[in-house]
Amino acid sequence: MTSLSFDVPGVPAPQGSKRYVGNGQMVESSKALPSWRSDVRAAASAALSTDTYTGRYDAPVIVQIAFLFARPRSHYGTGRNAATLKASAPAVGPVSRNRADVDKLARAVLDAITGVVIADDSQVVTLSASKGWADHDRPGAYVHIAATREWCGEAPVLMAWR
Protein backbone atom coordinates (compact mmCIF):
# COMPACT_ATOMS: atom_id res chain seq x y z
CA MET A 1 0.00 0.00 0.00
CA THR A 2 1.49 3.33 -1.00
CA SER A 3 -1.38 5.55 0.13
CA LEU A 4 -4.57 5.53 2.15
CA SER A 5 -7.40 8.07 2.11
CA PHE A 6 -10.49 8.33 4.26
CA ASP A 7 -13.21 10.76 5.32
CA VAL A 8 -14.15 11.41 8.92
CA PRO A 9 -17.64 12.90 9.32
CA GLY A 10 -18.31 15.07 12.35
CA VAL A 11 -17.07 18.27 13.91
CA PRO A 12 -13.25 18.25 14.17
CA ALA A 13 -11.96 18.66 17.72
CA PRO A 14 -8.57 20.09 18.70
CA GLN A 15 -5.95 18.57 20.92
CA GLY A 16 -3.26 20.35 22.78
CA SER A 17 -4.50 22.57 25.52
CA LYS A 18 -4.73 20.88 28.87
CA ARG A 19 -5.83 22.20 32.23
CA TYR A 20 -4.72 21.24 35.69
CA VAL A 21 -7.44 19.70 37.88
CA GLY A 22 -5.38 19.00 40.99
CA ASN A 23 -3.44 16.07 42.44
CA GLY A 24 -1.04 16.14 39.50
CA GLN A 25 -3.79 15.44 36.97
CA MET A 26 -4.19 17.19 33.62
CA VAL A 27 -7.25 16.87 31.39
CA GLU A 28 -7.86 17.90 27.79
CA SER A 29 -9.70 21.20 27.44
CA SER A 30 -11.80 19.90 24.55
CA LYS A 31 -14.62 17.68 25.78
CA ALA A 32 -15.26 16.61 22.19
CA LEU A 33 -11.72 15.21 21.71
CA PRO A 34 -12.32 11.59 22.87
CA SER A 35 -15.26 11.04 20.51
CA TRP A 36 -13.47 12.81 17.61
CA ARG A 37 -10.39 10.61 18.08
CA SER A 38 -12.65 7.55 18.18
CA ASP A 39 -14.32 8.64 14.93
CA VAL A 40 -10.91 9.14 13.26
CA ARG A 41 -9.68 5.70 14.41
CA ALA A 42 -12.89 4.05 13.19
CA ALA A 43 -12.66 5.72 9.76
CA ALA A 44 -8.97 4.79 9.45
CA SER A 45 -9.66 1.18 10.44
CA ALA A 46 -12.54 0.95 7.98
CA ALA A 47 -10.32 2.30 5.20
CA LEU A 48 -7.61 -0.21 6.06
CA SER A 49 -10.08 -3.09 6.05
CA THR A 50 -11.10 -2.30 2.46
CA ASP A 51 -7.47 -2.49 1.36
CA THR A 52 -5.30 -5.57 1.06
CA TYR A 53 -2.84 -4.04 3.52
CA THR A 54 -3.48 -5.17 7.08
CA GLY A 55 -0.51 -3.73 8.98
CA ARG A 56 0.74 -0.24 9.68
CA TYR A 57 3.13 2.06 7.94
CA ASP A 58 6.51 1.68 9.62
CA ALA A 59 8.45 4.03 7.36
CA PRO A 60 8.29 7.79 6.76
CA VAL A 61 4.92 9.09 5.58
CA ILE A 62 3.36 12.21 4.15
CA VAL A 63 0.05 13.26 5.71
CA GLN A 64 -2.47 15.69 4.23
CA ILE A 65 -5.55 16.71 6.19
CA ALA A 66 -8.39 19.01 5.17
CA PHE A 67 -10.69 20.04 8.02
CA LEU A 68 -14.14 21.18 7.01
CA PHE A 69 -16.48 23.20 9.19
CA ALA A 70 -20.16 24.00 8.67
CA ARG A 71 -20.78 27.59 7.66
CA PRO A 72 -22.75 29.68 10.15
CA ARG A 73 -26.27 30.78 9.18
CA SER A 74 -25.01 34.36 8.85
CA HIS A 75 -23.20 33.30 5.63
CA TYR A 76 -26.54 32.57 3.96
CA GLY A 77 -29.44 34.73 2.90
CA THR A 78 -32.83 34.76 4.56
CA GLY A 79 -36.31 33.76 3.43
CA ARG A 80 -36.33 32.36 -0.09
CA ASN A 81 -32.53 32.94 -0.24
CA ALA A 82 -31.85 30.82 2.85
CA ALA A 83 -29.96 28.26 0.74
CA THR A 84 -27.96 30.91 -1.14
CA LEU A 85 -24.50 31.89 0.03
CA LYS A 86 -24.12 35.65 0.48
CA ALA A 87 -21.56 37.42 -1.71
CA SER A 88 -20.00 38.78 1.49
CA ALA A 89 -19.44 35.28 2.96
CA PRO A 90 -15.72 34.58 3.38
CA ALA A 91 -14.18 32.21 0.86
CA VAL A 92 -11.43 30.90 3.14
CA GLY A 93 -11.94 28.68 6.12
CA PRO A 94 -12.83 29.69 9.66
CA VAL A 95 -10.34 31.89 11.43
CA SER A 96 -12.37 33.02 14.44
CA ARG A 97 -11.23 32.17 17.95
CA ASN A 98 -14.11 29.75 18.47
CA ARG A 99 -12.59 27.48 15.81
CA ALA A 100 -9.47 25.51 16.67
CA ASP A 101 -5.93 26.17 15.53
CA VAL A 102 -5.06 24.01 12.54
CA ASP A 103 -2.00 22.59 14.31
CA LYS A 104 -4.09 21.40 17.26
CA LEU A 105 -6.62 19.83 14.90
CA ALA A 106 -3.80 18.02 13.07
CA ARG A 107 -2.30 16.82 16.35
CA ALA A 108 -5.61 15.18 17.30
CA VAL A 109 -5.74 13.29 13.99
CA LEU A 110 -2.10 12.20 14.15
CA ASP A 111 -2.51 10.88 17.68
CA ALA A 112 -5.70 9.07 16.67
CA ILE A 113 -4.09 7.23 13.73
CA THR A 114 -0.99 6.29 15.73
CA GLY A 115 -1.13 2.57 16.34
CA VAL A 116 -3.77 2.12 13.65
CA VAL A 117 -2.23 3.41 10.41
CA ILE A 118 1.22 4.51 11.50
CA ALA A 119 3.39 3.08 14.24
CA ASP A 120 4.33 6.51 15.63
CA ASP A 121 3.53 10.08 14.65
CA SER A 122 7.27 10.82 14.51
CA GLN A 123 7.20 9.01 11.12
CA VAL A 124 5.42 11.98 9.57
CA VAL A 125 8.04 13.83 7.52
CA THR A 126 5.62 16.11 5.67
CA LEU A 127 2.37 17.42 7.09
CA SER A 128 -0.13 19.58 5.24
CA ALA A 129 -3.25 20.71 7.09
CA SER A 130 -5.95 23.18 6.10
CA LYS A 131 -9.29 24.49 7.36
CA GLY A 132 -12.17 25.24 5.06
CA TRP A 133 -15.91 25.52 4.78
CA ALA A 134 -17.90 22.35 4.17
CA ASP A 135 -20.37 22.13 1.33
CA HIS A 136 -23.93 21.37 2.37
CA ASP A 137 -23.12 21.63 6.10
CA ARG A 138 -21.19 18.35 6.22
CA PRO A 139 -18.31 19.03 8.61
CA GLY A 140 -15.48 16.59 9.08
CA ALA A 141 -12.01 15.86 7.79
CA TYR A 142 -10.43 14.29 4.75
CA VAL A 143 -7.17 12.46 5.50
CA HIS A 144 -4.62 11.22 2.98
CA ILE A 145 -1.53 9.28 4.08
CA ALA A 146 1.19 8.28 1.62
CA ALA A 147 4.46 6.44 1.96
CA THR A 148 7.48 8.46 0.94
CA ARG A 149 9.71 7.18 -1.82
CA GLU A 150 12.01 4.31 -0.97
CA TRP A 151 13.63 5.15 2.36
CA CYS A 152 17.42 5.12 2.14
CA GLY A 153 18.20 5.53 5.82
CA GLU A 154 18.81 9.28 5.89
CA ALA A 155 16.49 12.25 6.08
CA PRO A 156 15.12 13.59 2.80
CA VAL A 157 17.29 16.37 1.43
CA LEU A 158 15.74 19.80 1.62
CA MET A 159 17.14 21.84 -1.25
CA ALA A 160 17.20 25.13 0.65
CA TRP A 161 19.36 23.62 3.38
CA ARG A 162 22.21 22.35 1.20
**Sheet with strand 140-147: strands edge to edge:** 3-9, 140-147, 61-69, 124-133
Higher pLDDT, 55 or 114: 114
Domains of the chain, first to last: 3-151 (3.30.1330.70)
Tell the burial category of 87 from Cβ atoms under 10 Å away from its Cβ (0-12, 13-18, 19+).
Answer: exposed
More confident residue, 125 or 159: 125
116 alpha carbon, distance to own chain's centre: 15
Question: What's the pLDDT score for residue 129?
Answer: 94
pLDDT range class, residue 154, cuts 50, 70, 90: very low
Residue 153 has pLDDT above 50, yes or no: no
pLDDT of residue 97: 67
What is the pLDDT at residue 140? Answer: 94
Q: pLDDT at position 162, please?
A: 37
Q: Which of 11-20, 68-77, 120-129 has the lowest mean pLDDT?
A: 11-20
Question: Rounded to two decimals, what is the model's pTM?
Answer: 0.80
Local structure of residue 47 (DSSP, 8 states): H
